[in-house]
Structure 1
Amino acid sequence: MSDQATLKGWTIIPTPQTVQHKAGVSLLPMCGRVNEPRAFGDERQVLATQLADDIHAVTGLEWDITTGDRWPGFITLTTLDDLDARPSGAYTLDIAKDGVTVRGADFEGVRNGVQTLRQLIRQCGAALPRLHIEDQPAFETRGYYLDVTRGRVPTLDWLKTWADKLCLYKYNQLQLYVEHTFRFDGMSETWRGSSPLTPRDILAFDDYCAERGIELVPSVSTFGHLYMALRTHTFRDLGEFPETADEPFGFIDRMRHHTLNIGDDRAFDLSCRLIDDYLQLFRSDRFNICADETFDLGRGRSKPLAGRIGVAAMYADYVTRLCRHLETQGKQPMMWGDIALEHPEILERLPETVTLLNWQYDPQVDDGKIRTVAESGARQIVCPAVWCWNALLPRIDDAWNNITRMARYGTQYQAAGMLVTDWGDLGHVNDPRMAIPGMIIGAQEAWNPGRIPNEADMLSRISRLEYHDASGELLDILARASHAACFQWNHLITWLELDDGQDGVNTGVLQTIQGLLPEDERPDDVVRTLQDGSRAPSLAESRRILLRYLKHHVTLGETADHLLQTSARRISAIAATSGPWTNGDAAAFRVAIEGQRLLNRVGLRLASETGVIGTVQSGEAIQHDDAVNLAEALEIWMEAYAAQWGMTSRDSELHRLQGVVFRVAEHLRSANGARSVL
């Protein structure tokens, strides 16, 4: 795509393969029509309605929708003449003086062309640039993977909003990550209190996605990540360590210990029950059994079996049985590829029908694991991430680096597609709207990888198109703000959960401290302390270890606060000129930035309490007033955060996040003799 498009003030994401600019502007008529034939399957004229709605939103004009050759429209949707020569999803778009024509290789192609036209209408209104576009996707499968289980269950309305946005950026697949947040019959112990999705929700959402050219693929944990189920009275005996079922809930523990004991025949029955109940609600022929991060496999109840045949064989045999079970029902199995890549011999034993979802989230990821799967002959989809988990602000730089590299390797090794993942570890504190920049980067790279030369150009394009920011600066400001996260949500969770609830140390959490920093940033003396098995450190010592690890970052809080305040002011000013399109996003950004300012202050105070840094002095940039005032500021912030939560999500586990903030507030009030003031 020519840079002329950017100079003219509009952009298209993903960038088309070829754009021919022509002289002049095509003015949409005041009373126009969109003509859409029924032949390619859009029975409810969703695509024509999208166009008419956008025209009305931008111009105020009311357009009609029609079908058939006796009702010509200024905008015509149709199929290409040389269908066999075009891949699925390909389209052409012609904007001429006397009309606009979208031609697609199939329904998906027409849909994709309509989304390009919608983007132009949103930016140019009734005066469209004359041009000819020929376009097709690099990856046949362009999917998004949304976590709806680790704390945040979206409302059905928000899921539909998200599907609309995925459609606009030409995604054609969506998976919802489910562990315990679906209302399975006979499993109320597992889903109670989680605001679970229901069969009716899935049926309605499946229809909604299909009408927009998005395949909703069922995905449910069937092997690992069954933490909530394995804590119930009904299913605890099926876990590797049933004796831990009554231990207090822990965000970190939920991510580490959750594996079925597959040496028990009842485990396979449970896995099949989850599969069979869930798949009936979807029209898709695919099913993702997950089967990732089975950390405890062969370490607990199944240890004797592991001793006889080995963990790799145990894993391969179990997932193969699950895949065969799906095959008998005409379904194509999918699964995460991490365990198979840890034990490459597993790759040789997997069914040929399985698609490996090869997730690699390192921003500097290399091609090693993608090459390994390609050389094995297995079908794979590459899976980068939007990099929002465990934090209030999105790490957009990491998302850009991770997604662009994975797209390049996926193309190089002929992957079947790309699946952009959006996780919510540790309570899903990240607002779903924070994932929009990463989602759009993923859309670009899955369609036309490597076409945008650098991150700054990409963020400027997204700012203008998605956020209606004429300056193109919004996302650069947000990305820079994320660099000011000195004490983050996962640091706070670690600090809290080092307490085992009995005045002792949770040694499992203690072992995770080293993972909070890259190896080249870890203090050597602290590493030795952790490796010294002569004695277990006290809770106070453990928390001091954590804060010594983070000392360099935490002490940047004073400087970081100035950056965060400046970012909030600049984003607010941009939002004020962008119209009502961005009101919700602007509120989410503001709440996240203010929350990070408070987290940074908490980190400074905790480090000061433990003697890791000297007594905190009040500065001009950040006022470290007494602990009581900081506690109150946290509680006031949580009310604003909860209001934003309700804009996108059901209650689900909001109470757990509130509990975290309130526990910290109580600590601040009680520490160092702080007293409540009426």
Structure 2
Amino acid sequence: MKFRLDQSAANVREGLELLLEERGHELGTEGESTPVREQPVICWEQEGEHEISVSLKHGVLTIRCREKVHFFRGFMKALEYLGTHAADSELELQELELRESACFQSSGAMLDCSRNGVLKVGKIKEYIRRMASLGMNLMMLYTEETYEVPEYPYFGAFRGRYTREELKSCDDYAELFGIEIVPCIQTLAHLHTALRWKTMQGLTDTPDILLAGDDEVYRLIDAMISSVSSAFRSRRVHLGMDEAHELGLGNYLNKNGYQNRFEIMNSHLKRVLSICRKYGMEPMIWSDMYFRLKSPSGDYYDLPPETDFSDLPEFPEGVAMVYWDYYHDEKKHYENYIKLHKKLSDQTLFAGGAWIWNGVAPNYSWMAATLMPALDACRENGVSEVICTFWQDNGAETPMTAGNLSLTTFAEACFSVENGLQDEEQRGNGDYMEFLWGDGRDAWWLLDRFDNVPGAGKNNRYADNPSKFLLYQDVMLGLFDEQIRD
């Protein structure tokens, strides 16, 4: 099918051409005069705030919305309709009306590019197109040390790291669709592969954690933030700082004696925050360490709703907290934890899980069981930004593309139709799934059956993975045969 673009939609031409080309359609050349019965005309009326309206009448497709990425969502929904309902000869007779609203200011995905599965630039751009088709306006690239820091040549060496030019290329591409890319790095823990080099040994507390308070460490972090700040338009940066379980208990302990670990964390964050200000960057961090250090057990999720943080050092202003939770299926739990986060920071983002890290196959059942109540709680409790994380634990055993169902389910749940938030059957609509990915919702759900077997519990909540342990066991020894006897 060939389309014409009204002047009102001129600034989305490049993005539309890319989306249409991969589906065998095209845009007519500017100034071309063709009857609408042969080429539908695309118009964009920039109005409203979070609303998207799609109208097809007499061969004119009008999309009303404010954000560029919402235009692409509306257009792709119309394209799916035209592909299944409209023949070219009947175009003038076809009518479509669609109205929905974005439930969140920002919604998107975090792609893990650090666990021996560093996505090629072309694959990142493919995800950008898919996110545009779903109306997602936020992408985070999780790069522990898989990006270039010129002052430290061993940082990310032999790990498939991105050059600044490659990251800029991705950012330019995302801009065509109105998608913000926020760099997600690590400035405390999860740096084992960077710190293993002899040239980095003086920077370590433990093999995985930077030595807080050391001037050389902050020179390294300065170089990190300088590098990513020059690669992206976004003035936001995710600093990581999660799961630093042994903070202050390694070389820091030998050097300084035992210190209050909450104060170590806070002091380190303040120094990193000053570096962010130097480069005009607005930071966010994973929130778990502030909860773990408050918890008697060191757990992230066991603090009661009435927990008081006033006895702790004041959390620095200007830092957003990212509340990550992939493990609960009760809305009340999420509501309680959102309220706890707001006691620490007035900026809270939520990160749910795509559950593609179960083993060799995705755990869609637990994905849906955890994401849906979480998003409902976020919508009703003033969390305006949400992301879905696509971790590649254990060497990227599950292909990230196996998370397409998770991506679509999450995205559809971030938009509401006229009668309120879509129910679970509507989220990840089967027809749109097939249009985007080549197979319908039911076909994708078959992957869930690898691990969601009898005995796995409701929705495979404990992430059992027989497809993995049966594949890897020696069939002659049968290490797990007794475990699966029934």
Alignment TM-score, normalising by the size of structure 1: 0.61
Give the letter for the 1:271 counterpart: I
Q: Are 1:64 and 2:28 matched, yes or no?
A: yes
Percent identity, please: 18
Per the alignment, residue 375 of structure 2 pairs with 407
Does the aligned pair in 1 maintain the 2:180–2:234 contact within 8 Å? yes
Q: Measure the CA separation in 1 of the matches of 2:74 and 2:163.
A: 34
> Would the alpha carbon gap of residues 305 and 320 (structure 1) be closer, same or farther in structure 2, given more than 3 Å must change?
farther
Equivalent residue, structure 2, for 1:213: 178
CA distance in 1, matches of 2:205, 2:67: 49
Q: Which residue of 1 aligns with 2:211?
A: 261
**2:62 is matched with which residue?**
101
Task: Report what 2:470 is aligned to.
Answer: 600
Secondary structure of 1:415's aligned partner: coil
> For the residues of structure 1 that align with 2:27 and 2:218, how far apart are their CA atoms?
55
For 1:351 and 1:122, locate their aligned partners in 2 and report how far apart those are by CA, in whole Å. Answer: 52
In structure 2, C-alpha distance between the alignment counterparts of 1:295 and 1:485, rounded to whole Å: 35
1:76 aligns with one of 34, 42, 53: 42
CA distance in 2 between partners of 1:181 and 1:440 (Å): 27
Higher strand share: 2
Contact 1:115–1:170 (8 Å) recurs in 2: no
| CA spacing shift, 1:211–1:457, aligned 2, 3 Å | closer
Q: Distance in 1 between matches of 2:253 and 2:275?
A: 25
CA displacement, residues 240-283 of structure 1 (integer Å, 9 cap, x when unaligned): 13xxxxxxxxxxxxxxx511111322112211211112211111
Unaligned runs of at least 5 residues, structure 2: 295-308
Q: CA deviation at 1:308?
A: 5.9
- Choose from 246, 249, 253 the match for 1:299: 249
Distance (whole Å) between structure 2 residues aligned to residue 482 and residue 343 of structure 1: 34
SS in 2 for 1:132: strand
For 2:6, give the aligned amino acid: N
Matched ranges for 1:246-325 at <5 A: 258-303=208-253, 309-325=259-275
Distance 1:468 1:231, change over 3 A: closer
Kept in 1, the 8 Å contact 2:164–2:227? The answer is no
Q: For residues 453 and 313 of structure 1, do their structure 2 counterparts lie closer, same or farther at Cα, with a shift above 3 Å needed?
A: same
Q: 1:292, 1:338 within 8 Å by CA — same for their partners in 2? A: yes
What SS does the aligned partner of 1:240 have?
A: strand
2:390 matches 1:440: no
Q: CA deviation at 1:319?
A: 1.1
Residue 394 of structure 1, CA deviation:
0.6
Following superposition, the deviation at residue 130 of structure 1 comes to 1.5
Q: How many residues align?
A: 456
Which residue in 1 is equivalent to 2:424?
Answer: 454
CA contact (8 A) 2:138 2:180 kept: yes
CA deviation vs aligned residue, 1:360-383 (integer Å, no higher than 9, x gap): 010425223222012445211110
Contact 2:68–2:177 (CA under 8 A) maintained in structure 1:
no
Tell me the CA shift for residue 192 of structure 1.
Answer: 2.3
Q: What is the DSSP-based 3-state SS (H/G/I as helix, E as strand, rest coil) of the residue aligned with 1:296?
A: coil
Displacement after TM superposition at 1:150 (Å): 1.0
Quote the Cα distance in structure 1 between the aligned partners of 2:100 and 2:40.
22
Cα drift, residue 417 of structure 1 = 1.0
Is the contact between residue 51 and residue 114 of structure 1 (CA under 8 Å) also seen in structure 2? no
8 Å Cα contact 2:203/2:211 also seen in 1: yes
Distance 1:459 1:35, change over 3 A: closer
Amino acid at match of 2:383: A
Aligned to 2:363: 395
Partner amino acid for 2:273? C
1:351 CA drift (Å): 3.0
Determine the C-alpha separation between the residues in 2 that align with 1:333 and 1:225. Answer: 18
Question: What TM-score do the two structures reach when normalised by structure 2?
Answer: 0.83
Structure 1 segments, 4+ long, off by >6 Å, are 67-73
Shift in Å at residue 432 of structure 1? 1.4
1:155 and 2:105 matched? no
Amino acid in structure 2 at the alignment position of 1:103: R
Kindly report which structure 2 residues correspond to 1:156-171, keeping only aligned pairs within 5 A, or say none.
Answer: 156-171=121-136
Alignment deviations for residues 585-635 of structure 1 (CA, whole Å, 9 cap, x no partner) = xxxxxxxxxxx48x525437376369x749x99xxxxxxxxxxxxxxxxxx
Q: Which has the larger radius of gyration?
A: 1
Q: Which residue does the alignment assign to 2:297?
A: none
